[in-house]
Amino acid sequence: MARPRRIVLVRHGESTGNVDDSVYERVPDHALALTEQGRAQAEETGERLRAVFDGERVSVYVSPYRRTHQTLQAFGLDPALIRVREEPRLREQDWGNWQERDDVRSQKTFRDTYGHFYYRFAQGESGADVYDRVGNFLESLFRSFEAPDHPPNVLLVTHGLAMRLFCMRWFHWTVAEFESLVNPGNGETRMLVLGENGKYTLDRPFERWREPEPYGITG
């Protein structure tokens, strides 16, 4: 099995929805574009990624949303070195269809109180639903490692919640641990690095907004 030396997760650059939540009333979530700031963030991230990959081949999986595709395009990766696949299972948590701004704000407040893993948006998904499809994607990813010529790098261009849930699934974090973490900022990365012991570790932790609740499985 040709396991990659590194798996890089990237959150898309700033989108119009990140700066103006009224846009959800007239533009579908999947169609939101990057702002000028978001494009600049993606270009800066691309510079860092090119230095990390250093001319090596990269297997790329990108969420089908416009802002993630635009983020990937802004990276400026060498087309001869990348294999790109659109991966719907890495999409943003579904909210339903068009949403009124006040409804979006109230549901986000409810989610913060109820818990990001369990709260289900009306007509949409819970964090647990996203966890399930991310886990399904991981099974496909593991199968791809069986190819003897698999690239030494994997790049996932996705969303903040999906990044946390990917790591939760990979490292077997508890729900309480997941709930204690903060989404990475726009354009931020997290990297799973393969060690000499054959195990992956995160290059840096997610920020915490609190300590995990002291319940659930211990030991």
146 given a catalytic annotation: no
Residue 201 burial (CB count, 10 A):
11
Which of the following is catalytic: 14, 69, 87, 92?
92
Measured between alpha carbons, how far is residue 145 from residues 65, 149, 205 in Å? 25, 9, 25
69 annotated active-site? no
The answer to whether 105 touches 121, Cβ cutoff 8 Å, is: no
CA dihedral 41, 9, 153, 50 (to 10 degrees): 10
Secondary structure class of 122 (helix, strand, coil): coil
The three-class DSSP label of residue 148 is coil
Residue from 31, 24, 34 nearest 123 by CA: 24
* Residues carrying an active site annotation: 12, 92
